[in-house]
């Protein structure tokens, strides 16, 4: 396992994507801590949510297709009906009070966990641009 | 191989941890017949954390996002002069309570997360103020916990007065269960007792102990969001959120240790064990515990004659299951749990109004009144 990991790192270092990749890994790590602090109560340890109550994040079509809307929900809260993986949710997520870099970190974590994949890293700048209305 | 072994151990031990949880002694059941209707009183609220009924009519309501709302005759007015609130995670503007002699002295008490003082982040604070028209006046900060932390959890925040006029309030463990709840020299994971003007009573249990927070009245709590005076005994009853399972009802006693996180009927959110102990010498057993968790918030005893079948029962709001639990207590134990007000939404608070009716504050909805059928 270690050898595979080492050769993977060497391979990645050879590629220009290295710095982007480490940045993403670091962001995801910070994001996982924020997730355990702010999100896990409702969205559950593996992003599975609670059917009909709290929408799943794992393999969530809403999260994958609505990048900006998801950032907006994290920044300003979310109220009203949404449909996630064919199931209706009509709850209320209060604004979390996270700073913009923290929103980016937790977005990078949830869009790259539990079977989710996101090729384009979310930056603090991208979060900053998302307005309330 | 090592990794696989570790994985097996992790899975195995989490299975054991789950298997070890002992369910509540009494299970919640649906009411056999619904004997009441529900009427909207205040609509369009987000997270109505605290509510009080003013003797001159109308109510004050706190929204977690930081607003105090005055409601009377169908009109909402936002109260000005509210201090800056640290809105993060579970923190925000929390509970609201009137001084027992509010009619004569006008003091209003409220708890909120505040970033005042040392360090990044925030901690629970309690303030009193008077109403001057539609604004707060004479604001006095009575207590603020510290040090500030950016953790988003467990601010506690409920307020209650006892028959002798002492002021009680709760602060949760602030997401630092390993350091705060068991250490009386640290804030968090405590029930506090003050005089109504903020002075620390000289007979508080830890007064004079080196380094102790002398406002502390009891400790070893996780996240108490229910605090109510018993209508007969005058004791302060508390409930607190457990982790996964292990929510508790406790009767608060001076200087006692309620055990978190050394003893608990709950497990970690991911199902792993957090402690193998449910009891320990020198630590209090809960009056009742919930496994699975209901995520309790707010509670009241029914004392009015409007609900003859419910008289003397304890009502507790459930955030998780979106209902109110009616707990029938006989002697020193819970003998029945009945589900009422099902599916209206996450119940943040429940109180009996001065008119004897039960009012419930529901997230994303507002405040409703329970009216028994004639």
pLDDT tens per residue, range B220-267: 999 999 999 999 999 999 999 999 999 999 999 999 999 999 999 999
Tell me what pLDDT residue A8 has.
Answer: 59
Tell me what pLDDT residue A17 has.
Answer: 56
Tell me what pLDDT residue A15 has.
Answer: 55
Instruction: Please compute the mean of the pLDDT values over residues A21-41 and round it to a whole number.
Output: 94
How buried is residue B269: exposed, middle or buried, by Cβ count under 10 Å (0-12/13-18/19+)?
middle
Note the pLDDT tens digit of each residue in B177-228. 999 999 999 999 999 999 999 999 999 999 999 999 999 999 999 999 999 9
Note the pLDDT tens digit of each residue in B330-366. 988 999 999 999 989 999 999 999 999 999 999 989 9
Any CB–CB contact under 8 A between A52 and chain B?
A: no
Do A37 and B46 lie within an 8 Å CB cutoff?
Answer: no
Measured between beta carbons, the chain B residues lying within 8 angstroms of A37 are 89, 151-153, 175
Any CB–CB contact under 8 A between B63 and chain A?
A: no
Tell me what pLDDT residue B14 has.
Answer: 46
How sure is the predictor about A41, in pLDDT bands with cuts at 50, 70 and 90? confident
- Asked if residue A104 is part of any domain, the answer here is yes
Instruction: Please state, in angstroms and rounded to a whole number, the distance separating the CA atoms of residues B284 and B258.
Output: 5
ipTM tops the 0.90 cut: no
Note the pLDDT tens digit of each residue in B26-35. 999 998 888 8
Tell me what pLDDT residue B16 has.
Answer: 46
Note the pLDDT tens digit of each residue in A64-109. 999 999 999 999 999 889 999 999 998 889 889 999 999 999 999 9
Any CB–CB contact under 8 A between B212 and chain A?
A: no
Do B363 and A40 lie within an 8 Å CB cutoff?
Answer: no
Do B152 and A97 lie within an 8 Å CB cutoff?
Answer: yes
Residue B1 has pLDDT above 60, yes or no: no
DSSP labels, B295-356 = -EEEEEE--STT-GGGTT-EEEEETTTTEEEEEEEETTEEEEEEEESTTS--EEEEEE-TTS
From A9's Cα to the closest Cα of chain B, the distance in A is 20
Nearest to A97 among B88, B269, B364 (CB): B88
* CATH number for region B30-372: 2.120.10.30
Measured between beta carbons, the chain B residues lying within 8 angstroms of A92 are 46-47, 363-364
Tell me what pLDDT residue B17 has.
Answer: 44
Instruction: Please state, in angstroms and rounded to a whole number, the distance separating the CA atoms of residues B113 and B145.
Output: 9
Q: What rounded mean pLDDT belongs to chain B?
A: 94
How sure is the predictor about B294, in pLDDT bands with cuts at 50, 70 and 90? very high
Number of neighbouring beta carbons within 10 Å of residue B17 = 19
Residues B43, B49, B53, B54, Cα dihedral to 10°: -100
Residue A3 has pLDDT above 60, yes or no: yes
Do B363 and A45 lie within an 8 Å CB cutoff?
Answer: no
Smallest CA–CA distance from B86 into chain A, residue: A97
Tell me what pLDDT residue B271 has.
Answer: 87
Q: Smallest Cα–Cα separation from B223: which of B300, B132, B124, B361?
A: B124
Tell me what pLDDT residue B264 has.
Answer: 97
Instruction: Please compute the mean of the pLDDT values over residues B120-135 and round it to a whole number.
Output: 97
Any CB–CB contact under 8 A between B192 and chain A?
A: no
Q: Report the percent of chain A where pLDDT is more than 90.
A: 71
Which domain covers residue A72, as residue numbers?
A: 28-129
DSSP labels, B167-208 = EEEEE--TT-TTTSTT-TTS-SSEEEEE-TTSPPPTTSTTTT
- Asked if residue A83 is part of any domain, the answer here is yes
B139 HSE (CA, 13 A, CB side): 13
Residues B314, B316, B322, B328, Cα dihedral to 10°: -30
Tell me what pLDDT residue B343 has.
Answer: 87
Do B269 and A45 lie within an 8 Å CB cutoff?
Answer: yes
Contact map slice: B 12-51 vs A, CB within 8 A: 46-47
Instruction: Please compute the mean of the pLDDT values over residues B165-170 and round it to a whole number.
Output: 98
Residue A6 has pLDDT above 70, yes or no: no
- Asked if residue A23 is part of any domain, the answer here is no
**Three-state DSSP state, A127:** helix
Instruction: Please state, in angstroms and rounded to a whole number, the distance separating the CA atoms of residues B358 and B311.
Output: 12
Rg (CA), chain A: 16
Tell me what pLDDT residue B374 has.
Answer: 81
Count of structural domains within chain A: 1
- Asked if residue A9 is part of any domain, the answer here is no
Tell me what pLDDT residue A20 has.
Answer: 72
Do A37 and B65 lie within an 8 Å CB cutoff?
Answer: no
- What is the distance of C-alpha B4 from the center of its chain? 42
Smallest CA–CA distance from B48 into chain A, residue: A94
Which single residue is written with the structure tokens 């028994």?
B372
Instruction: Please state, in angstroms and rounded to a whole number, the distance separating the CA atoms of residues A24 and A20.
Output: 6
Do A96 and B3 lie within an 8 Å CB cutoff?
Answer: no
Q: Where are the domains of chain B?
A: 30-372
From B89's Cα to the closest Cα of chain A, the distance in A is 5
Q: Smallest Cα–Cα separation from B122: which of B150, B101, B94, B141?
A: B150
The enclosing domain of A71 has a CATH number of 1.10.760.10
How sure is the predictor about A57, in pLDDT bands with cuts at 50, 70 and 90? very high
Tell me what pLDDT residue A106 has.
Answer: 98
Long-range contacts of A41-48 (CB under 8 A, 24+ apart): A41/B269, A42/A93, A44/B269, A45/B269, A45/B270, A45/B271, A46/A114, A47/A110, A47/A113, A47/A114, A47/A116, A48/A114
Smallest CA–CA distance from B272 into chain A, residue: A45
Residue B2 has pLDDT above 60, yes or no: no
Tell me what pLDDT residue A2 has.
Answer: 64
Smallest CA–CA distance from A43 into chain B, residue: B269
Any CB–CB contact under 8 A between A92 and chain B?
A: yes
- Asked if residue A38 is part of any domain, the answer here is yes
- Asked if residue A87 is part of any domain, the answer here is yes
From B126's Cα to the closest Cα of chain A, the distance in A is 20
């Amino acid at each position: 396992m270690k050898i595979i990991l080492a050769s993977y790192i060497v391979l990645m270092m050879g590629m220009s994507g290295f710095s982007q990749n480490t940045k993403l890994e670091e962001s995801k790590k910070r994001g996982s801590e924020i997730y355990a602090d702010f999100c896990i109560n409702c969205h559950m340890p593996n992003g599975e949510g609670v059917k009909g109550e709290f929408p799943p994040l794992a393999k969530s079509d809403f999260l994958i297709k609505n990048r900006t809307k998801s950032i907006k929900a994290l920044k300003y809260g979310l109220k009203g009906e949404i449909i996630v993986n064919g199931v209706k949710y009509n709850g209320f997520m209060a604004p979390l009070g996270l700073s913009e870099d923290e929103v980016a970190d937790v977005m990078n974590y949830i869009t790259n966990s539990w079977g989710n994949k996101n090729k384009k890293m979310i930056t603090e700048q991208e979060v900053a641009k998302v307005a309330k209305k | 191989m090592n990794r696989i072994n570790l994985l097996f151990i992790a899975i195995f031990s989490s299975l054991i941890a789950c298997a070890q949880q002992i369910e509540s002694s009494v299970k919640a059941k649906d009411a056999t017949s619904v004997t009441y209707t529900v009427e909207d009183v205040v609509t369009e609220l987000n997270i109505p954390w605290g509510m009080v009924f003013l003797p001159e009519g109308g109510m004050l309501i706190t929204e977690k996002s930081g607003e105090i709302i005055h409601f009377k005759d169908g009109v909402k007015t936002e109260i000005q002069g509210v201090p800056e609130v640290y809105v993060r995670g579970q923190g925000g503007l929390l509970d609201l309570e009137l001084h027992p002699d509010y009619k004569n002295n006008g003091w209003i008490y409220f708890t909120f997360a505040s970033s005042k003082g040392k360090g990044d982040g925030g901690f629970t604070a309690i303030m009193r103020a008077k109403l001057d028209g539609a604004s707060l006046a004479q604001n006095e900060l009575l207590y603020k916990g510290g040090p500030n932390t950016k953790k988003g959890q467990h601010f506690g925040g409920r307020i209650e007065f006892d028959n002798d006029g002492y002021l009680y309030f709760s602060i949760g463990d602030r997401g630092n269960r390993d350091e705060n709840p068991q250490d009386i020299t640290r804030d968090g994971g405590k029930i506090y007792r003050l005089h109504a003007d903020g002075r620390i009573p000289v007979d508080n249990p830890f007064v004079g102990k080196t380094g102790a927070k002398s406002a502390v009245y009891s400790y070893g709590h996780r996240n108490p969001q229910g605090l109510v005076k018993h209508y007969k005994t005058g004791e302060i009853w508390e409930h607190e959120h457990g982790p996964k399972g292990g929510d508790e009802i406790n009767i608060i006693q001076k200087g006692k240790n309620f055990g978190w996180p050394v003893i608990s009927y709950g497990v970690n959110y991911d199902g792993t064990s957090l402690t193998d102990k449910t009891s320990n010498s020198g630590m209090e057993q809960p009056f009742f515990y919930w496994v699975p968790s209901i995520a309790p918030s707010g509670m009241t005893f029914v004392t009015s004659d409007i609900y003859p079948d419910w008289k003397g029962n304890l009502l507790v709001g459930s955030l998780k299951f979106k209902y109110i639990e009616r707990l029938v207590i006989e002697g020193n134990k819970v003998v029945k749990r009945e589900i009422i007000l099902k599916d209206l939404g996450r119940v943040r608070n429940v109180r009996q109004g001065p008119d004897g009716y039960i009012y419930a504050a529901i997230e994303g909805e507002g405040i409703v009144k329970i009216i028994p059928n004639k």
